[in-house]
Amino acid sequence: MKGVICQQTDAKLVDVAHDFPRQDIRTCAFWLREILPYFPPAVHLVVVDPGVGTDRAAIVIRAGDHALVGPDNGVLIPAARTLADDDFDVFEIPEQHSGDTEATTAALDTVSEWPPNPSSSTFHGRDVFAPAAARVHEDGIYSFEAESGFEPLDTFEDLRFPEPTIRQDGASGTVLAVDGFGNVITNIPGSVIRDQDQASATVNGVSTPIGEMYAAVDSGDRLVTVGSHGNVECAVNQGRGDDAFGLEAGDSVELSL
């Protein structure tokens, strides 16, 4: 993918992550929503694509001053909503539909053709998304659709994270993701534990200290804290919260104060 991009543009390449959980659309959608708003305007290329080769569309989203390139499976949508205050445009990436593909050789021959020829049915990251990302970068985020034949797409695969229920004395939420340290990231806003006086909360029935930082408790001890994303995290200081709390993405979290 980097080779294809370097063939077509001198754009600066920035690696965001190569170790997201494979084919886990929801977790990747969460991280993209958290990470991409910190970037200056850019073309963001995303390949989390379990449906590669099916009739799912390949899309470019213009969201504010950013462009997102990837599969139409929802992975780009939460980031697009955050980047553009819900006001984003979706375009389909045009493709050549020649019936006869000869894989590697053909791909190499057509790497600078447009529209791209998806020589493989298993790696559109290289064959479709990378050429499109280079194209959007060269044409410009505000005018690529006219320059290179992208067509507006009215419907797209949506993805919304579950909403928590906030109560006077706590919240019912869901685990959105577990990070590389094992911290369990919920969808419960940090204000639920930050804006009150108690020193502990009950998490799925177990009393747990509330801390402002991981080191608020001893090494190896559990706590709830507000993570860098602004949500409640179930964590262990210098340990793995997912193991200690027995929680993984999608699980329910009952938080009582």
Q: Which chain residues interact with a second copy by CB under 8 A?
A: 2-4, 6-7, 13-16, 22-23, 34-40, 42, 50-54, 102-105, 107-108, 111, 119-123, 126-127, 180-181, 190, 212-216, 225-231, 233, 237-238
Q: Which is nearer to a second copy, 109 or 151 (CB)?
A: 109
Considering the complex, state which of residue 99 and residue 152 has its C-beta at the smaller distance from a second copy.
99
Q: How far apart are CA 212 and CA 192, in angstroms?
A: 13
Q: Taking the complex as a whole, how short is the minimal distance between the CB of residue 152 and a second copy, in angstroms?
A: 26
Residues 6+ positions from 110 with CB-CB distance below 8 Å: 96, 116, 117, 119
Please, which residue, 146 or 250, has the CB nearer to a second copy? 250
Nearest distance in Å: CB 213, a second copy:
2
CA–CA separation, 47 and 192 (whole Å): 35
Residue 214 one-letter amino acid: Y
Least separation, in Å, of the C-beta of 192 and a second copy?
A: 12
Under 8 Å CB-to-CB from 87, ≥6 apart: which residues? none
Cβ-based nearer residue to a second copy, 22 or 97? 22
The dihedrals phi and psi of 58, each to the nearest 5 degrees, come to -105, 130
Burial class (CB in 10 A: 0-12, 13-18, 19+), 230: exposed
Burial 190-217 (b: 16+ CB within 10 A, else e): bebbeeeeeeebebeeeebebbeebeeb
- Closest CB to a second copy among residues 9, 145: 9
Shorter beta-carbon distance to a second copy: residue 154 or 195: 195
To a second copy, the closest distance from the beta carbon of 65 in angstroms equals 12
The least distance separating a second copy from the CB of residue 146, rounded to whole angstroms, comes to 27
Q: 87 is written with which tokens? A: 């006001």
In whole angstroms, the minimum distance from the beta carbon of 105 to a second copy comes to 7
**What's the token pair of residue 159?**
């993805």
